[in-house]
Amino acid sequence: MKVLIVSGFLGAGKTTFIRTLSNRLNKDFVILENEYASINIDKDIIKDDTGLNVWEFTEKCICCSGKADFAMNILTIANTISPEYLIVEPTGVGFLSNVINNISRIEYEQIELLSPVTIIDPNSFFQYIEQYNELLTDQISCAGTVILSKSDRAVDVDVDTVIDKIQAINADANIISRHYSGLSDTALEELLLRKRDGTVEAKPFEAETVFDSISISNAVLSSAGEVVIFLEALIRKKYGNIIRSKGTILIGNTPIRFDVSNNNYIIEQADADSKIGCVFIGDGIMTGDLRIKLLPVNLKHNVNNATRNSAEFSR
């Protein structure tokens, strides 16, 4: 079983790339996802779009607190399903060096680690490399291939400058600057042929100490217009410094899927049987306000009472 890690910061486009790779190539894939929350939104999206076997690993970060369980999952997949390729999608706030070292410990003749891929969104690159320098530098420096995921939609950014910065961090990386949807099947398949050489020093870092995440099940809003107003409030930081959010909200009997990253959002109708729930990642998240906004009326009453009682107790 060959293991390909697809790394990248929150909202870079890892899931979309994995969907493209699995849809284009006629290979035996299994996907192992690490979602930095208790609800895994992307699992349903990948399964619906590709029909692949998707394993989920939620709440714990596979680069730090969940290392032992993660390694056991890989061994279980290798010894029971034994696919040709296992694609590992770490949380966007995970250090790639730690994930590599975690898998390296269990490598043997049946498990081979391929050269890792890191996905970069050039539109948000300079903002995030400044705010989260150690994390992004690690994800780039440990990658064999760096793919610019949204170069076709680059606005107010010089892609060549982004490439220069990436090369300064990792001069040996294979950088793909054109959108991967325009790559040939042969070019995509080369990613499955690149072997990883050498070792990587792991970073002593606990991702949970930097980012908060909350998950809200049974999220509801009254109309599509209210969804737009809510997402505009999100990117204006009304609910805290939320750098990544995604999920499915129920409007009447219609599920609506949304995705927020880099101060932009996408809204689309979801499948009728989609799992309802939202994930928010960032810092200083106003959890109570989000729950009051998104929970059904009967549950909002409970949140209001809890908030009121907490305020009275603190006086």
What span, in angstroms and rounded, lies between the C-alpha atoms of 47 and 40?
A: 12
What span, in angstroms and rounded, lies between the C-alpha atoms of 264 and 155?
A: 12
Residue type, 167: Q
Q: What is the domain partition of the chain in residue ranges? A: 2-192, 212-294
Q: What is the pLDDT of residue 181?
A: 85
* Least reliable range by pLDDT among 94-98, 237-241, 278-282, 305-309: 305-309
Ramachandran region, residue 194 (left: φ > 0; alpha: ψ -120 to 50; beta: rest): beta
Q: What is the pLDDT of residue 65?
A: 45
Residue 305's Cα: distance from chain center in Å? 34
Q: What is the pLDDT of residue 55?
A: 53
Q: What is the pLDDT of residue 68?
A: 60
Q: What is the pLDDT of residue 76?
A: 85
For residues 10-33, average pLDDT: 88
Q: What is the pLDDT of residue 221?
A: 93
Give the CATH H-level superfamily of domain 212-294: CobW-like, C-terminal domain (3.30.1220.10)
If you search the block for the tokens 């056991």, which residue do you land on?
72
Q: Are 71 and 106 in contact (CB under 8 A)?
A: yes
**What are the tens digits of pLDDT across the range 39-48?**
444 445 444 5
**What are the tens digits of pLDDT across the range 126-170?**
999 999 999 999 999 999 999 998 777 767 788 999 999 999 999
Q: Are 127 and 169 in contact (CB under 8 A)?
A: no
Question: Each residue of 270-299: b (16+ CB within 10 Å) or e?
Answer: beeebebbbbbbbeebbeeebbebbbeeeb
Q: What is the pLDDT of residue 104?
A: 87
More confident position, 20 or 57: 20
**At residue 243, does pLDDT exceed 50?**
yes
Residue 120's Cα: distance from chain center in Å? 12
Give the CATH H-level superfamily of domain 2-192: P-loop containing nucleotide triphosphate hydrolases (3.40.50.300)
Instruction: Please check whether the two domains, 2-192 and 212-294, share a CATH topology.
Output: no
Q: What is the pLDDT of residue 4?
A: 96
Helix ranges, the chain (H) = 14-24, 41-50, 67-80, 96-104, 125-131, 133-141, 159-169, 185-190, 224-235, 287-294, 297-313
Nearest to 149 by CA among 12, 52, 312, 4: 12
Q: Percentage of residues in the chain with pLDDT exceeding 70?
A: 78
pLDDT classification of 210: cutoffs 50, 70, 90: low
In angstroms and rounded to an integer, the radius of gyration of the C-alpha atoms of the chain is: 20
What span, in angstroms and rounded, lies between the C-alpha atoms of 100 and 142?
A: 8
Q: What is the pLDDT of residue 9?
A: 92
Q: What is the pLDDT of residue 35?
A: 64
Q: Are 252 and 231 in contact (CB under 8 A)?
A: no
pTM over 0.75: no
Q: Percentage of residues in the chain with pLDDT exceeding 90?
A: 38
**What are the tens digits of pLDDT across the range 179-200?**
888 889 999 999 998 887 644 4
Phi, psi (5° rounding) for residue 30? -130, 145
**What are the tens digits of pLDDT across the range 17-26?**
998 998 899 8
pLDDT classification of 102: cutoffs 50, 70, 90: confident
For residues 271-298, average pLDDT: 86
**What are the tens digits of pLDDT across the range 281-294?**
888 899 889 989 99
More confident position, 312 or 79: 79
Question: Each residue of 176-191: b (16+ CB within 10 Å) or e?
Answer: bbebbeebeeeebeeb
pLDDT classification of 60: cutoffs 50, 70, 90: very low
For residues 287-315, average pLDDT: 59
**What are the tens digits of pLDDT across the range 110-123?**
899 999 999 999 99
